[in-house]
């Protein structure tokens, strides 16, 4: 049976679109039950509407602190029977209630613990990789805890860095890998194959 997802975003929503498309193609056993955006002008909201998915805006700037903002986000999510929360370019800190431990995923466009933490998102990550002269970067899908880019790692995929890469060309190859890795991790969850033991993910058959 398909699991129910809440997708949280702040921007263009290409990650949401990929999940919608993969589910529609039948290779991901999940349905997007709701979308919550922390920005009212996020294009991801338009993608949700086009797909007929209920979408809510909880503007981060309307709240004084992460706690009150997070309470408002969870109030939206709790309107639906959600199995897994999927962060999809969600740029605000979310306080996680214990009942959602190991039930929130994030995709990070690098191999954690490299190139992660506060301020490391989107193009900043790829610029940092190129500035250092790293030869390999990649994609990490992980469960989210109450620290930036932390929590048990579910899967990682490497991406080679080319000498003539720009942040844009590197981002394109990393995002192509994200588009495969994120649905793959969600599908493992849907199949009940992920367990977390001592903070480490084990993938069952």
Active site residues: 108
Binding ligand GAR (rule: CB under 6 A), the pick from 13, 138, 151, 183 is 13
Query: 70 vs 202, which CB is nearer to ligand GAR?
Result: 70
The structure tokens listed for 82 are: 């959600």
Question: What whole-number distance in Å separates Cα of residue 70 and Cα of residue 80?
Answer: 16
Question: What whole-number distance in Å separates Cα of residue 19 and Cα of residue 176?
Answer: 13
Report whether 41 contacts 61 (CB < 8 A). no
Per-residue binding string, ligand GAR, 164-183, x by CB under 6 A, is -----------x--x-----
Residues contacting residue 36 through CB under 8 Å, at least 6 positions apart: 6, 7, 8, 9, 55, 56, 57, 58, 73, 76, 77
Q: Report the 10 Å Cβ neighbour count for 78.
A: 12
Binding ligand GAR (rule: CB under 6 A), the pick from 109, 138, 151, 152 is 109
Count residues contacting ligand GAR (CB under 6 A)?
Answer: 17
Binding ligand GAR (rule: CB under 6 A), the pick from 107, 128, 159, 194 is 107
Query: 84 vs 88, which CB is nearer to ligand GAR?
Result: 88
Binding ligand GAR (rule: CB under 6 A), the pick from 14, 127, 150, 169 is 14
Look at the block and give the residue holding tokens 């579910």. Answer: 154
Chain residue whose CB lies nearest ligand GAR: 89
Residues that bind ligand GAR (CB under 6 A): 9, 11-15, 88-89, 107-109, 121-122, 125, 149, 175, 178
């Amino acid at each position: 049976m398909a699991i129910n997802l809440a997708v949280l975003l702040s921007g263009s929503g290409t990650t949401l679109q990929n999940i919608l498309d993969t589910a529609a193609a039948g290779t991901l056993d999940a349905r997007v039950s709701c979308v919550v955006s922390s920005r009212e002008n996020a294009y991801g909201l338009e993608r949700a509407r086009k797909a007929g998915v209920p979408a809510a805006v909880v503007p981060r700037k309307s709240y004084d602190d992460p706690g009150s903002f997070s309470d408002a986000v969870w109030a939206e999510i709790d309107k639906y029977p959600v199995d897994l929360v999927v962060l999809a370019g969600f740029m605000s800190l979310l306080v996680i209630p214990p009942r959602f431990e190991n039930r929130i995923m994030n995709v990070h466009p690098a191999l954690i613990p490299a190139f992660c933490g506060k301020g490391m998102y989107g193009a900043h990550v790829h610029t940092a990789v190129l500035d250092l002269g790293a030869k390999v970067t990649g994609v990490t899908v992980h469960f989210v805890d109450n620290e930036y880019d932390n929590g048990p790692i579910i899967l990682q995929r490497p991406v080679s860095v080319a000498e003539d890469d720009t942040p844009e060309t590197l981002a394109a190859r990393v995002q192509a890998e994200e588009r495969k890795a994120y649905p793959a991790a969600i599908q493992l969850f849907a199949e009940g194959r992920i367990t977390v033991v001592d903070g480490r993910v084990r993938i069952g058959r």
